[in-house]
Amino acid sequence: AILANQISAGEVVERPASVVKELVENALDAHSTEIDVTVADAGLKTIKVVDDGDGIDSSQVQTAFLRHATSKITEQRDLFRVRTLGFRGEALPSISSVSNVVLKTSTGSVGTEIEYKGGKLVSQKAAESRKGTTVIVNSLFYNTPARLKYLSSPNTELAKISDIVNRLALSHPEVAFSFISNGRELLRTSGRGDLLQVLGAIYGVKTVSRMQPIKSEKPDISISGYVSLPELTRASRNYISLILNGRYVRNFPLTKAVINGYGSKLMIGRFPIAVINIKLDPALIDVNVHPTKQEVRISEEPRIGDMVATAIRDMLADKQL
Q: Kindly list the residues in this chain that would bind Mg ion in the complex (CB under 5 A).
A: 26, 86, 91
Contact call for residue 169 and ligand ADP (CB under 6 A): no
DSSP letter for each residue of 161-216: HHHHHHHHHHH-TTSEEEEEETTEEEEE---SS-HHHHHHHHH-HHHHTTEEEEEE
Which C-beta is closer to ligand ADP: that of 31 or that of 218? Answer: 31
Return the residue of 88, 147, 167, 247 that touches ligand ADP, per CB under 6 A: 88
Q: Per rule CB under 6 A, is residue 86 in the interface with ligand ADP?
A: yes
Q: How far is the CB of 49 from Mg ion (least distance, A)?
A: 12
Tell me how far, at minimum, the Cβ of 172 lies from Mg ion, in Å.
15
Told to check if 21 binds ligand ADP by CB under 6 A, we report no
Q: How remote is the C-alpha of 36 from its chain's centroid?
A: 13
User: Does residue 261 contact residue 306 with C-beta atoms inside 8 Å?
Assistant: no
Judge residue 120's burial from the number of C-beta atoms within 10 Å of its C-beta, 0-12 exposed, 13-18 middle, 19 or more buried.
exposed
Phi and psi of 113, rounded to 5°?
Answer: -125, 125
- Among ligand ADP, Mg ion, none, what does residue 311 contact (CB within 5–8 Å per kind)? none
Distance CA 275, CA 248 (A): 10
Residue 30 site contact among Mg ion, ligand ADP, none (CB < 5 to 8 Å, cut-off depends on kind): ligand ADP
CB atoms within 10 A of CB 61: 20
Nearest approach, Cβ of residue 139 and ligand ADP (Å)? 19
Shortest Å, Cβ 240 to ligand ADP: 27
Q: Does 247 sit near ligand ADP (CB under 6 A)?
A: no
Q: Among residues 5, 133, 233, 241, which is the contact residue for ligand ADP, using CB under 6 A?
A: 133
Q: Closest distance between ligand ADP and the C-beta of residue 131, in Å? A: 10
**Counting contacts by CB under 6 A, is residue 64 touching ligand ADP?**
yes
Binds 71, which of ligand ADP, Mg ion, none (CB < 5 to 8 A, cut-off by type)?
ligand ADP
Query: Please, which contacts does 1-6 make with residues 24 or more away whose CB atoms are closer than 8 Å?
Result: 1/67, 1/119, 2/97, 2/118, 2/119, 2/120, 4/67, 5/67, 5/93, 5/94, 5/96, 5/97, 5/119, 6/94, 6/97, 6/98, 6/119, 6/143, 6/144
Which listed option, ligand ADP, Mg ion, none, makes contact with residue 133 (CB within 5 to 8 Å by class)? Answer: ligand ADP
27 binds ligand ADP (CB under 6 A): yes
DSSP state of 223: E
User: Using CA atoms, how far apart are residues 20 and 288, in angstroms rounded to an integer?
Assistant: 24
Q: Which helix (H) or strand (E) holds 226?
A: strand 221-228
**Binding segment for ligand ADP among 68-76, 167-175, 237-245, 285-293 (CB under 6 A)?**
68-76
C-beta of 48: minimal distance to ligand ADP in Å?
Answer: 12
- What are residue 217's DSSP bridge partners? 222
How many DSSP H helices and E strands does the chain contain? 10, 17
**C-beta of 168 vs 315, nearer to ligand ADP:** 168
- Under the binding rule (CB under 6 A), the answer on residue 50 touching ligand ADP is no
Select the span of 69-77, 110-118, 121-129, 299-307 touching ligand ADP (CB under 6 A).
Answer: 69-77
DSSP states of 288-301 = -S-GGGTB-EETTH
Distance CA 89, CA 86 (A): 7
Min dist. Cβ of residue 54 to ligand ADP (A): 5
Work out whether 52 is an interface residue with ligand ADP (CB under 6 A): no
Where on the chain is the footprint of ligand ADP (CB under 6 A)? 22, 26-27, 30, 51, 53-56, 64, 70-72, 86-92, 133
